[in-house]
Structure 1
Amino acid sequence: TPKVLMMLILKDIIWKDEYLLVTCDVSSLYSIIPHNIGIQAVQYFLEQSGFKQQQIDFILDGILLILENNFFWFKDSFFIQITGTAMGTKFAPSYANLFMAYWEDKIIFPHLAAKNLVSYHRYIDDIFFIWKGGEESLNLFLNDLNVNSWGIFLTSTYSTNHINFLDLEVFISNSTINTRNHFKDVDANSYIEMSSCHYPPWLKNVPKSQFLRVRRNCTQEIDYISQAERIKEQFLDKGYEIDTLQNCIEEVKKIDRKDLIRYKKPHNRTTDKHTFNMPFICNHSGNNHKINKIVTKYWPILKEDPILSQILPNRPKMVYRGCKNLKQILVKSSLRTQPPTHFLNKNKGFYGCGSCLACRETNSTKRHITSFTYKDKKEFTIKDQLTCFSKCVIYILKCPCNLIYVGRTIRCLHTRIAEHVRNIKKGLETHSVSQHYKKCHNSNPRNLMFCAIKSVSKNWRGGDFNKRIGEEEMRCIYNFNTLIPNGAMSDHIYFVAETHPNEILKDIIWKDEYLLVTCDVSSLYSIIPHNIGIQAVQYFLEQSGFKQQQIDFILDGILLILENNFFWFKDSFFIQITGTAMGTKFAPSYANLFMALCPITYILWLEDSLSERGVGYSREQKMG
């Protein structure tokens, strides 16, 4: 690192009385770089690096695209940064670094020839140098640097014996330049808790990395011992064990500091492919050891591949990144300004007007709906202020037989509901709502209840809004449990009966000779014969009006699933020759259709018997 290189150079400098320690900081570097000079700087170093002109032009065009589109968001408005570069841009540090290097080539380095600068070092916008010539000449030099057309303004500090630079405290002792770790006055104990949800070996290495940093920064061992004790107390406050910390201090103390500040050549993935160990990266969790065991166990299989064997190491390198903490989950990256509240604000909920075409056609009066119940008597609270004229909403329809449909619209709600009403009146079978009303309600839209339940706003960053509102619609469908096929994989999948079996049973008058009976099909998923299961699906597909070509396609897909029911058990693969794997997404629908078909002749007989005896029957999935 630049700091290590600086310490390597400083240790050989013999201090003289006329020397001054100087640090400078470039004020607001990222935001003051003129575009034209920044582009010149990049071009200057690209040409020195031997790039072809075509490559240089391409890179400069890309940089210009970034610089001219420096948009940022502040207080609910977009702005464009007309000078400098956004600090969050990945290329910004390199761009600022090249700009400063270009400035050094043109302004600073000529002074090196004049022997005023004994030593000069920079890390992006932080500068450290040793000046020879006294305070007066130094001030003249710094004033000259601040008079420029580059936008650079340096704030500087100098001393004859002591100065701070980055995390180093540079001081003079016995005519030599020494360093130790610099602790800022505002520093807090921000070390990670030992109880944090991180990979345990990584947590144990945190103290050692800090002790190594102090050992590297301290030229004198006495400074290392005192500063290591200070850091040890901070780690103790975070729950680390004292014995582990003390052993770590002693272990680092034995390391020769020369080895820590020795310059190491940067690793080059292009030229050092034979030494590069490609890591397997995943989030840390309690199951990491299982993943590690599985990957290690089957690593030899990957090594047998003729291409991968030339790239992969002999053993996998497992790297675990930190999982999301509560702050990352709960805190938003940007806060929107909340509209002011006043006494005229309405309560949340859906306000039906009672006068629009949709309300008139469905016989709906003026109303205020704040919540509604769906399956299993769960309650959904409406958290927005919605009306018949609201746009970009998720809405529900409820028919007189307590069936729910979930839909979405980006137009006014009353416009979309009016379309449903027209389709119902026409008796169209191209949509689930109108088809249901034709079969069950004589194509009469009266008493159709509609209600907007959620407003979906456009993302301030832009993006695909149709995808956004579609995802919200599917989320509501899932939460309200309306995604249940009316037949096998039918097009009308949004209706679900709200009526609980209890609602059916409540009208039955109990007699002494009655018996309450429940049945459960043992191991249903694994006992379904393939041929009968296929017959069941085909039967209901034909009843649903699918074309023969569609039916054949669906049956071929199901047969592919059934004939390839592979599973892993005790280090071996097996195939399930009857039934279907329970984990398959289509398994519940498949089993339900099988149950709907198999007892059909028995139930027809049973219905006659039940009608004579006055007893009720119902089945929920596989329960009868």
Structure 2
Amino acid sequence: MGSAIGSKMAPPYANLFMAQLEENFLVIDDQIHNSQIPRDTLLDYKEKTENIRVPIVVTYNPQLNIIRKIARDLQPMLHADTRLKQIFLELPLLFYRQPPNLRKMIVRSALPTTTKAGTFPCNRCETCKYILCKDQVPIPNTQKVYTILDYYSCASCNVVYMFTCTTTSCSTGGIYIGETGQKLRTRMNHHRHKINNKSCDTPVGQHFCSQNHSLQDMQILILKGYFKTERERKIYEFKCMELFNTLRQGLNLEIKQNCLGIP
């Protein structure tokens, strides 16, 4: 029997409940005072005794209630063996694991985490068709590879990226290392605009506008992201230029010339 909120009977029911609750607390207080136990003793930290009982965990089933009786009946058999007696000094502790239910089967408790590494298309922009889905990149003129450790996409920002050329006749190797604080697809729009307009004022535009080259020969991937500062990103960009030798044989030659003051 219940009483709706706001009904005339609700306040009397509430008063009865509070009266009963207060009476219970008074009984507890009386028991504490009558026990003659000092307050300091009650507040002292009590060391927990070590539990040496072996736990047994099973998936709950109503028919498993007999397990406790079985364990109790077979305890003397365990004590008959010297080694088992040292392990099972007392009756095992029985714990029940919640069985699978419909909610667990149809509802995920957490979103799945992405464990793939590399650069992947977002399937929502023009850059997707140029994405190179690899987690390892061979370093030219060596037997080593560069391993990408994190997951990236066209929407990733604050990254150091790499352009590669699929044309095998590239004298420069067709590799360009760049960095951007923007999203990769935003930066890619700039490069694509230069190539489509036959603009040769950038290394990427000059390369992919040259003979036997086109925008379709371009592939792009992210080497690293999640930088804390712009300076850290630029330093890592230069390290990648040296690693892939793009300052001497690559599309970053213009950067080296600018640093050395070569016209």
TM-score norm. by structure 1 comes to: 0.22
TM-score norm. by structure 2 comes to: 0.48
Structure with more relative contact order (C-alpha pairs < 8 Å, separation 6 or more): 2
